[in-house]
Amino acid sequence: MRLDVELSAGQASPATALVDALRAIGRADPDGEHALDRHLDSEQMRVLRTRAAALGPARHYLLEVEWPELYRRADRLRTAGTPATDQQVRRIVSRMDELSALFTGGDAGISAGVKAAWHDDPAVMPGEPAAPAEDWREPAAYLDRARRNSG
């Protein structure tokens, strides 16, 4: 199921770079993995795969339930006009960062590579070549503002 459909009822919402990267690794379609290969070396790809596999059944819950719900909450706050500096938004960002660290091991290089792959080819990463890249830009910028102001 497309994450943007899962995240909203009728309005396109953001997809996360890491969620889509992990889905790309698990798909038979090599395009998503190829996009990652341009930004992650073989060791980084191995780490990403290994850490995702080590989560076992929790991987499904985190990728398919918790992460999308966090994005739905954040997008509702954004569309309601809640400032990115609001404590509710900052808590969401904090949890998203915790989840990201579970998959990346906190490796800044892996995180940067996944984000770069998403920015280079946003349609390929979620496996939806027809999906408009703009769907995720505003919500992602909102969360980035919250992240910068959470220190």
Q: What is the value of pTM for the model shown?
A: 0.67
Please compute the mean of the pLDDT values over residues 135-146 and round it to a whole number.
Answer: 80
Nearest-angstrom CA–CA distance, 72 and 76 = 6
pLDDT in tens, 72-115: 898 899 999 999 999 999 999 999 888 888 888 889 898 888 77
pLDDT band at 16 (very low <50, low <70, confident <90, very high): low
Q: How far apart are CA 149 and CA 151, in angstroms?
A: 6
Say what the alpha-carbon torsion angle 90, 91, 96, 99 is, to the nearest 10 degrees. Answer: 140
**Is the predicted pLDDT of residue 11 greater than 80, yes or no?**
no
Which stretches within the chain are classed as H helix? 3-7, 17-26, 30-37, 42-54, 57-61, 67-79, 87-104, 108-120, 137-148
pLDDT digits (tens, 9 = 90+) for 41-61: 999 988 888 988 898 888 888
Q: With cut-offs at 50, 70 and 90, classify the pLDDT of residue 121.
A: low
SS3 state at 36: helix
Report percent pLDDT > 90 for the chain.
Answer: 17
- Helix, strand or coil for residue 92? helix
